[in-house]
Amino acid sequence: MLRRSLLALLALVALLGFSPWVPRAQERPSSTPVASGAAASGTVQSAPTSTPTPSPDPTTAPPSPTPTTSPSYTVLFDARIVPTEKVAYVTIDLRDPDERMGKLEFRIDPERHLDFAGDGNVEVNGETVVWTPLRQGGKLRYRFRINHLRNERSYDSRVSDSWAIFRGDDLVPRTRVHAAPGAHGDSRLRLRVPVGWSVVAPYERLADGTYAVVDEDRRFDRPSGWIGMGDLGVLRETIAGTRVAIAAPKGQDFRRQDLLALLRWTLPTLRETLPSLPDRLVIVGAGDPMWRGGLSGPRSLFAHADRASISEDGTSPIVHELVHTALRLPSGPGGDWVVEGLAELYSLRVLRRSGTISKRRYDRSIERLEKKARGVKNLRGDDVDAAETARAALVLLELDKQLDASTDGRVRLDDVVRELVATHEDVTTERFREVAERVSQTNLEEFFARPELAAPKPSPRS
């Protein structure tokens, strides 16, 4: 049996946590379909908090969703939601019988992740927590403060007496694991919620009430995406191969049926255009004091109840976020214009291609983008605004026309986008150009020489 010291020597530092979208070193086969009983239930109830649930024993735990190779270790993220305290009590239960795991490093938000304690050694240092578990695993406990303000008075994470909406990515902070080469784990999430609450989460629910947590973008699977729970109204349907759940606290004016109709019109086209559309999609909504916007996450998005399915200007904030969810493109330095421009352009294209809006309205929306984009000089900032997003969409539209012309219609922007998604690396202007040139076999130097895409001059201070 390997000793931990030897292991440390051999260990590959798996850099899988701090950069949010590092590709997995090892892809696993896709999970098996959910048993229909678990999937069909309209409301999902975890074990009531009053009934203590025994920790799962690895020998009696249900079979892994990836039966081809048995996992080296198992991780159970157990979160008990306590609305009166506005917190979740989280336990990370690591079972590592073959001693393949070294230490785990968490990049925390010290305001939200509190009171770390556990088996083995736990070191808390500002924004970093280093946990060295016992040889065969152990438990790490902490408290997660659910409420989080996005600006002065609106929340992007919140718990009330009767519901909670937050991101799995926040519940369990970014993690970097030190593991033996080839080690891979099986991750589960257990959500303990007050009696009578239901849960929607973008994961497969297993027979024992836990969720199989699979993250295609990291080797260490931790929860990500939007989770809604409470006294919810939930609509579930499978559209274009995607299991959709649309949920909002009861009594809030979140138009689930309108949204469902929009998805029925647009998801088949979105799947055709972007085959990377996930096979599971959770939409959670709520009104004030939640943030008045849309926010996408892996296999999920949040939308404020006030957001129209389609705005007066013919764009759809919901489809914009859906495109983000389908593309899963992380932006690198100076590449945000590509990510936001694609979301904006493809949200319009999907509305047009699906026949949701007419050609005339589509053309008008493009004209509106032109108006909105006036005055934008450069697109290479790190966080593009609405006007820059409009300009970015127009630049991409022009690129599409140029590709069409220079390849006699052989290569279009669609092809470039699919390749960009397949390579799944941080998007920068240079990277985007490289993929576009490779796919189209053309030189795009002139196109990318336009002033909007020029590298920003260093500021006088730097």
Q: Which range, of 42-50, 182-190, 343-351, 443-451, touches Zn ion by CB under 5 A? A: 343-351
- Kindly tell me which of 20 and 110 has the beta carbon lying closer to Zn ion: 20
Q: Which range, of 27-35, 71-79, 338-346, 436-444, touches Zn ion by CB under 5 A? A: 338-346
- Kindly tell me which of 165 and 343 has the beta carbon lying closer to Zn ion: 343
Burial class (CB in 10 A: 0-12, 13-18, 19+), 199: buried
Shortest reach from residue 226's CB to Zn ion, in Å: 15
Strands 242-249 and 280-286: parallel
Q: Which range, of 10-18, 332-340, 380-388, 425-433, touches Zn ion by CB under 5 A? A: 332-340
- Kindly tell me which of 189 and 345 has the beta carbon lying closer to Zn ion: 345
Q: Which range, of 121-129, 248-256, 333-341, 441-449, touches Zn ion by CB under 5 A? A: 333-341
- Kindly tell me which of 92 and 392 has the beta carbon lying closer to Zn ion: 392
Shortest reach from residue 343's CB to Zn ion, in Å: 4
- Residue 460's contacts (CB-CB under 8 Å, 6 or more residues apart) are none
Which of 124, 267, 290, 343 contacts Zn ion by CB under 5 A?
Answer: 343
Shortest reach from residue 44's CB to Zn ion, in Å: 29
Shortest reach from residue 95's CB to Zn ion, in Å: 39
Sign of CA dihedral 220, 226, 228, 233: negative
Rounded-to-integer distance, Cα 191 and Cα 229, Å: 10
Closest CA to 202 of 184, 218, 192, 189: 189
How many residues lie near Zn ion (CB under 5 A)? 2
Q: Are 189 and 168 in contact (CB under 8 A)?
A: yes
Residue 225: left (phi > 0), alpha (psi -120 to 50), or beta?
left
Written as one letter, the residue type at 192 is R
Closest CA to 92 of 145, 140, 144, 130: 140
Q: Is 235 helix (H, G, I), strand (E, B) or coil?
A: strand
Rounded-to-integer distance, Cα 209 and Cα 38, Å: 9
Give the CB-nearest residue to Zn ion: 343
Shortest reach from residue 372's CB to Zn ion, in Å: 14
Helices then strands (H, E): number in the chain? 11, 22
Q: Which range, of 22-30, 40-48, 174-182, 337-345, touches Zn ion by CB under 5 A? A: 337-345
Shortest reach from residue 326's CB to Zn ion, in Å: 12
- Kindly tell me which of 184 and 299 has the beta carbon lying closer to Zn ion: 299
Q: Which range, of 117-125, 200-208, 334-342, 435-443, touches Zn ion by CB under 5 A? A: 334-342
Shortest reach from residue 150's CB to Zn ion, in Å: 15
- Kindly tell me which of 223 and 341 has the beta carbon lying closer to Zn ion: 341
Written as one letter, the residue type at 30 is S
Shortest reach from residue 340's CB to Zn ion, in Å: 5
Considering the rule CB under 5 A, would residue 392 count as an interface residue with Zn ion?
no
- Kindly tell me which of 156 and 340 has the beta carbon lying closer to Zn ion: 340
Taking residues 281 to 320 in sequence order and writing x for each that binds Zn ion by CB under 5 A, - otherwise, the string is ----------------------------------------
Shortest reach from residue 424's CB to Zn ion, in Å: 18
Rounded-to-integer distance, Cα 95 and Cα 75, Å: 6
Rounded-to-integer distance, Cα 87 and Cα 25, Å: 34
Shortest reach from residue 344's CB to Zn ion, in Å: 7
* Cα angle 314-256-148, degrees, rounded to a multiple of 5: 90
Closest CA to 310 of 392, 374, 255: 255
Q: Which range, of 37-45, 188-196, 342-350, 418-426, touches Zn ion by CB under 5 A? A: 342-350
- Kindly tell me which of 79 and 345 has the beta carbon lying closer to Zn ion: 345
Site for Zn ion in 443-462 (CB under 5 A): none
Shortest reach from residue 271's CB to Zn ion, in Å: 20
Shortest reach from residue 227's CB to Zn ion, in Å: 21
Rounded-to-integer distance, Cα 55 and Cα 36, Å: 25
- Kindly tell me which of 139 and 391 has the beta carbon lying closer to Zn ion: 391
> What is the length of the chain?
462
Q: Is 88 helix (H, G, I), strand (E, B) or coil?
A: strand
- Residue 230's contacts (CB-CB under 8 Å, 6 or more residues apart) are 160, 162, 163, 164, 193, 197, 198, 249
Q: Which range, of 139-147, 164-172, 224-232, 335-343, touches Zn ion by CB under 5 A? A: 335-343
Rounded-to-integer distance, Cα 426 and Cα 192, Å: 35
- Kindly tell me which of 351 and 403 has the beta carbon lying closer to Zn ion: 351
Where along the sequence are the contacts to Zn ion (CB under 5 A)? 340, 343
